[in-house]
Amino acid sequence: MKKVLNVTAAAYMRGGSGYRVRVTFSDGSEGVADFAGHLTGSLAPLADKKLFAKVYADRTLTWPGELDVAAEFVYALAHQLAPPESLEDVESNLLTVRVRELRARAGKSQAELAKAMGVSQPSIASFEASPDFRWSTMRRYVKALGGDVDLVFTFGGERLSLEKGAKVPPSNQKTRRVAARAKAKRAPAA
């Protein structure tokens, strides 16, 4: 994926824990990040609710006094995901949110989707929370939402469709040429 994730809008929310922010991200998703229980260490100054209320978006969540929180951490909080510890975790969180949004855009509940797929609602919840999807399950999920699936790969600017039988990527062609040469060398001379 290698996309940059930014906070594009932020608004302090009164009530609740007093440490909540409505956040919009560069991927178009939105959520409420509740910082209660996370204001330790370098974020301890934000326990002052007057300071916390001065939050604003500047690619990250930012407060006066050069305090900021990485967009990836805020994204996890806003979408009830585990805070990322690596780039792979960030990419998994982005994918998890996109899959949840597929269902939301189709206007189906987890229970409705489970019935259409012939599985239980907890199975759908587990699937949506999973950072690693089986291709066959993803295909069934999307088809039950009324959509079609087409996995597209990009190599050197060329888009290749897995479902529509696009050209073989140059890297695979090279692999096949190397394998053919090796096989020719092993074959007895005629």
- Looking up residue 12, the CATH number of its domain turns out to be 3.30.2020.10
Question: Which of 56, 78, 100 is where one domain is finished?
Answer: 78
In sequence order, which ranges of the chain are alpha helices (DSSP H)? Answer: 49-52, 71-78, 87-106, 110-117, 121-129, 135-144, 170-186
Please state whether the predicted TM-score (pTM) of the whole model is above 0.95. no
First to last CA, the chain: 49
- Tell me which residue range forms the domain holding 71: 7-78
Domain identity same for 102 and 132: yes
Does residue 1 lie within any of the structural domains?
no
Q: Is the C-alpha dihedral spanning 129, 132, 138, 142 positive or negative?
A: positive
Residue 104, CA distances (Å) to 97, 123, 131, 148, 178 in order: 10, 17, 18, 16, 47
SS3 content of the chain, % helix, strand, coil (to 5): 45, 20, 40
Does residue 2 lie within any of the structural domains?
no
Domain identity same for 55 and 109: no
Domain identity same for 137 and 168: no
Quote the number of domains for the chain: 3
Query: Could you list the pLDDT tens digit for every one of the 190 residues in the chain?
Result: 456 799 999 999 998 889 999 999 998 999 999 999 999 999 999 999 999 999 999 999 999 988 999 999 999 999 999 899 998 889 888 888 988 888 888 899 999 999 999 999 999 988 888 767 788 888 888 888 888 877 777 777 777 777 666 553 444 444 444 455 555 555 555 4
